[in-house]
Structures are given as C-alpha cells and as structure tokens.
Amino acid sequence: MPSLHYRTIFLNFLKLGCLAFGGPAAHLVFFHQTFVKQLNWLDDQQYAQLVALAQILPGPTSSQVGLAIGYMKKGYWGALLAWLGFTLPSALLMTMVALLGEQFFPLLSSAFFHSIQLIVLAVVTWAFWQMLHSFCTQIWQYILMLCSTLFICTVSLPMNQIIVIFIAALLGIFFARKNTATKQNKAENSFLTEAISSTKRSNAYLWFIVFILPFFIFPVLNWLHIGVFAQIFESFYRTASLVFGGGHIMLPFLHQDFVATGLISAEKFDLGYAFAQLMPGPLFSFASYIGALMPLTAFPVLNAAIATLAIFIPSFLLVFGSLPYWSWLMNRAYIRHAVVGINAAVVGLLLSMVIQMAQHYIVQLTDLLFVAVVIALLKTRLPVWLSLIGSFLGHQLVLSFL
C-alpha cells in the first residue's frame, strides 16, 4: 500500500466536516462508511476498538475517534490534520454567527429570542430523554440521576458539578461491579497496541501528566487574579475534561461558567447553541461561538481560535496517552464502572438544565405545546436542521397572528 499523504487525511476529514450532520452517532456512521468501507484504512474490529476506547474517555466521542484514526495512520501530525479538517467548517461557521450576531443582535425582537429559547429547551429535553434510556438501566442509576439533579438545583457551589461527577464515579465503582451487564471480555492484543512504537508506549504517561497539570495551574492563576484569560481558558478545558456522553452535556457546564457569571447573556448563549444544532461536524464548536464573544484579546477571530483549542486540547492529550494502553484500560473493570456512574449523573445534570430552562422560558400553555411539537419533529426521520428551521418559522408565523 502506498504511503498515505498528510493532505489526504486532511481532505477526507474536511469533507466529513462539511457534510457530517446529525450529531456524534451519525458522525460515527459516516466515519465507518468512509474509513472502513470505502478507504479500507481500518477493518470493522479495529474501528470498533477505537470507538470503545473513545467512549470511556471524557470529551467529544466522534472527534476523538477521528483524531485517533489520524494518529494511527500518520502519528501526531495525522491526528492534528484529522481534527482540523473535521472541526474547521463548523468552527468557522460558528465564529461567523458570533460576529454577525454582534452586529444584528440589537435588531432582533424579543419574540425571535423567545422562539430560539423554546427550541433550545426542546433540543435539550430530547437529548435528556435519549440519554436517559441509554445511560439509566438500573434502579440505582435512576436514583443517582435524580439525586444529581436535586443537588445541582438546590446547592449553589462553584464546583457543584465537579462534586457530582466525582461522587458518581465512586458510586459507579461500588454499584456497577455487581452488575454483570457491565462486564466485558478481556481485550485482546490489537493493532492499537502493536501499531504504536515502543518509544511512544514508554512515553505515553507523559500525556496524562500534561492533561492533569492544568487542574492545578489554573486555580492558582485564578486565585492570583491573573486575568479573565485564565478563567475562560480553564472553563473550556475543564468542561471538555469532565464531559461524558456527548456534546449536549457540556451545556450545563458552560452555562454555569459564562451565563451565570454574566460573561455572556442568556439570549446570546441560547442563540449560539441553537445555531450549533444546525452545523455539520462536532457540537463542541459551540466553543468557537462563545470564544468570539469573550474579551480574551482585541481580535474576536483569535478569541474563537483560542476557545476552540482550549476545549479540544484534552481530547488530544487523552487519546495520545491512552491509545498505547488500550488493552490495559479496557481490561480495568473499575474504569468502566466509574463511567457507568458518571453517565447516570450527567443525565441528572442535563435534567437540571431542562428544569431551569423550563422555569424561565415557559410562560404560557402555547409555549409548552410548541416545545412538544419540536420534540415530536426531532423524533421523526426529518433532518435536524429542517425540523428546527421549520419549527422556528412556524412559531414566528403563529406569533404574528396573535
């Protein structure tokens, strides 16, 4: 087989970044069709191993699978180009939305924003319902999910979400080990281990050290009041390091860090999140939108780039550090069990977000009916972008006659 060029990796992922609508589950199908069925870069078993590894790591699953494919084919530069190709289209589009929004935001009516808020509520509610069925299958998981929701809604602490994640991991280790459904066969030696040089395997632990260091550095910088830069960068980095289960889970973290602190208005936040649903590629490019609105530097485009890097850097560090130890990680039952507990807790975080949004956005019965209609459309086979745009136009039309 001829040597694979870097530009080939970039262009294939760029194509996917322009066309891969539908969220992480759809992205993984696109990846399988492209890299397994069409290009034969991997076989089915190898691809399944990459997906399994990405699922036990925090962060955006589909993006991590993509950069892992690039890493396996052409090392660190291959990973960077794979990520850049897949992320660039949505990051640029979300940055443009932010810049245009700053110009036209004052011209938009309250009815416009109310429609956007109701659509975001519907999307988050639908995501919660899907994740509830996927991640809560045992009684203890439902209880943990509800307790997580109650804690977030009643206890006001700067680190309350991190506390929930940590406790959920411990409870997962305790409860899930008794559940035979979480047991998996021992991972066999695979290309994930064999295809990596002994040098990379021996140095892989250094990536984990680099991954952990910011959790000690940024709190010190914030305590010293170095500036808003460290605060914003730390927020994106921490969010990506703690998010399990998909891009929707980052919403409560970012809302707490940027809306609750007054760095961005709730209306702008919801507008950006609604547009993020319409974009191809990773939902994590929502960070590009927020970054463009942050006072990091005098250049909004540079701010968007900084925020995008901050939210994806943990994925690089985790993939580089974990791929050489794939067999070891997949054979550690307590890691899988901790993830089971964390997944149940993050569903609770999403439910708390739904409750808070509903309290602010539902002001009359017609609002509740509209949210139900949007959810019904999301359950159909219609493309997400068509469902959301169609429902928005329909709601605006109804409001014009009221």
What's the pLDDT band for 396 if we cut at 50, 70, 90?
Answer: confident
Structure tokens at 194: 């064999």
Domain spans, the chain? 6-401
What's the pLDDT band for 183 if we cut at 50, 70, 90?
Answer: very low
Which of 9-13, 310-314, 344-348, 380-384 has the lowest average pLDDT? 380-384
- Report how far residue 228's alpha carbon sits from residue 231's, in angstroms, rounded to the nearest whole number: 5
40: pLDDT strictly greater than 70? yes
Q: Are 285 and 276 in contact (CB under 8 A)?
A: yes
C-alpha torsion angle, residues 72, 73, 75, 81 (rounded to 10)? -110
Q: Are 355 and 337 in contact (CB under 8 A)?
A: no
Tell me the mean pLDDT in the region 40-53. Answer: 85
Q: Are 93 and 279 in contact (CB under 8 A)?
A: yes
The per-residue pLDDT for 289 is 97
Tell me the mean pLDDT in the region 215-220. Answer: 84
What's the pLDDT band for 161 if we cut at 50, 70, 90?
Answer: confident
> In angstroms, what CA-CA distances link 186 with 55, 56, 169, 192, 339?
17, 15, 22, 15, 17
97: pLDDT strictly greater than 70? yes
The per-residue pLDDT for 231 is 87
Tokens 């040098």: give the residue.
199
The per-residue pLDDT for 179 is 63
Tell me the mean pLDDT in the region 257-265. Answer: 92
Tell me the mean pLDDT in the region 373-397. Answer: 88
Q: Could you tell me the maximum CA-CA distance found in the chain, to the nearest angstrom?
A: 69
Structure tokens at 350: 């999403």
- Report how far residue 348's alpha carbon sits from residue 363's, in angstroms, rounded to the nearest whole number: 24
The per-residue pLDDT for 236 is 95
Q: Which helix (H) or strand (E) holds 263?
A: none
* Mean pLDDT, the chain, integer: 86
**More confident site: 187 or 263:** 263
The per-residue pLDDT for 245 is 64
Q: What is the pLDDT of residues 70-88, one digit of tens each?
A: 998 998 999 999 999 999 9
- Report how far residue 255's alpha carbon sits from residue 275's, in angstroms, rounded to the nearest whole number: 16
Q: Are 195 and 72 in contact (CB under 8 A)?
A: yes
- Report how far residue 334's alpha carbon sits from residue 173's, in angstroms, rounded to the nearest whole number: 5
* String of DSSP letters for 27-90: HHHHHIIIIIIIS-SS-HHHHHHHHHHHHHSSS-HHHHHHHHHHHHHHHHHHHHHHHHHHHHHH
DSSP state of 137: -
Tell me the mean pLDDT in the region 77-101. Answer: 96
Q: Using a pLDDT cut of 70, give the percent of the chain over it.
A: 91
How many whole angstroms from its chain centre is CA 34?
Answer: 22
SS3 200: helix
What's the pLDDT band for 182 if we cut at 50, 70, 90?
Answer: very low
> In angstroms, what CA-CA distances link 91 with 16, 87, 108, 212?
14, 6, 23, 26
Q: Which burial class, exposed, middle or buried, applies to 5 when counting CB atoms under 10 A from its CB (0-12, 13-18, 19+)?
A: exposed
Tell me the mean pLDDT in the region 229-239. Answer: 91
**More confident site: 27 or 200:** 27
The per-residue pLDDT for 337 is 87
The per-residue pLDDT for 185 is 45
187: pLDDT strictly greater than 70? no
Tell me the mean pLDDT in the region 313-321. Answer: 94
Which of 64-73, 90-99, 246-255, 311-320 has the lowest average pLDDT? 246-255
Global pTM value: 0.83
175: pLDDT strictly greater than 70? yes
Q: Are 170 and 341 in contact (CB under 8 A)?
A: yes
What's the pLDDT band for 195 if we cut at 50, 70, 90?
Answer: low
